[in-house]
Amino acid sequence: MKKLAGPSKINTSVFISGTGSNLKNLIKFSLKKKSPILIRSVISNNNKAKGLTFAKKNKIKTKIYKFKNGYNNENDIIKYLKKDDINLICLAGFMKILSKNFIKKFRGKILNIHPSLLPKYKGLNTHQRALENKDNFSGCTVHFVNSRLDSGKIILQKKVKIYKNDTPAKLRKRILKQEHIIYPKAIKMLQF
Ligand code: GRF
C-alpha cells in the first residue's frame, strides 16, 4: 500500500450500515497524532444509519449508495473512492456483500471486523450461535476481505469468555468493547 494523505497518513473510507460504534472508535483513533489513517469518507447503504451522525459531527463527508443487486452503481462508488485516493476500506457493521469486481479493485485493502472467532460462526447471529453451542469462549476478528464471506486472512483476534448467565445482548456488549480495541490495533499492524 502506498502512502497518500499527508506525510504518513493512509486515505481511508469506512463503510457502515447501522449504529457505528466501531466507526466512532475509528474516528477517535484517526484523530490521534500517530494514527496511520485519515478518514476521508463514510459510505453507507442506509441513509438512516445512526453512525452517520458521528461522521457529520467530525466533518467527514458521507455518501449513501444502495449497493443494490447487480451493483449497477458500483462504478460510481469506485470512482468516488478513487477520487480521494482511498487506499484502505474499513467495513464496520456494513451489512452488504461487496461484489467480486469491487473487491478486486481494492485487493488487499479492505478490512472487516466480525463478532466471532473466525472461522467459527461466519455470517449473522454469531452471539446466539455461540451460546446455543455452549461454547466457553467467543470473541472478535479483524480480517482482510476476499470474495468469500468472512473468509479472508485473519489479522487479529481477541477471545472473550462466555459466562453461564450470558445472553446474546450481554455477550455482544462485551465483545464490542474488544472490537474497539482490536480494530485500531490491526490497522497499526498493516504494512503500508
Ligand atoms: C459489530 O459487532 C461488528 O463486528 C459487526 O457488526 C457490528 C457493528 O457494530 N460486523 P457497530 O455498528 O460498529 O456498533
Q: Please determine, for residue 63, whether its predicted confidence score (pLDDT) is greater than 90.
A: yes
Ligand 1 atom closest to 51 (CA): 12
- Residue 43 · residue 62 · CB < 8 Å: yes
pLDDT for the residue numbered 1 = 52
Q: Is 127 among the catalytic positions?
A: no
pLDDT for the residue numbered 72 = 61
100 CA distance to ligand 1 centroid (A)? Answer: 22
Q: Rounded to the nearest 5°, which phi and psi values hold at 126?
A: -65, -40
pLDDT for the residue numbered 140 = 99
Q: Please determine, for residue 100, whether its predicted confidence score (pLDDT) is greater than 80.
A: yes
63 CA distance to ligand 1 centroid (A)? Answer: 19
- Residue 10 · residue 38 · CB < 8 Å: yes
Is 168's C-beta closer than 6 angstroms to any atom of ligand 1?
no
Cell numbers found for residue 110: 479492505
Q: What angle do CA 57, 61, 67 make, to 5 degrees?
A: 120
Handedness of CA 103, 107, 111, 117 (dihedral sign): positive
Q: Please determine, for residue 108, whether its predicted confidence score (pLDDT) is greater than 60.
A: yes
Report pLDDT digits (tens) over 150-169.
999 999 999 999 999 999 99
- Residue 38 · residue 63 · CB < 8 Å: no
Is 113's C-beta closer than 6 angstroms to any atom of ligand 1?
yes
7 CA distance to ligand 1 centroid (A)? Answer: 31
- The number of residues in the chain equals 192
- Residue 186 · residue 92 · CB < 8 Å: no
Q: Please determine, for residue 15, whether its predicted confidence score (pLDDT) is greater than 90.
A: yes
Q: How far apart are CA 1 and CA 20, in angstroms?
A: 26
pTM, to two decimals: 0.94
How much of the chain, in percent, has pLDDT values that exceed 70? 93
pLDDT tier for residue 4 given thresholds of 50, 70 and 90: very low
Nearest residue (by CA) to ligand 1, atom 7, is 93
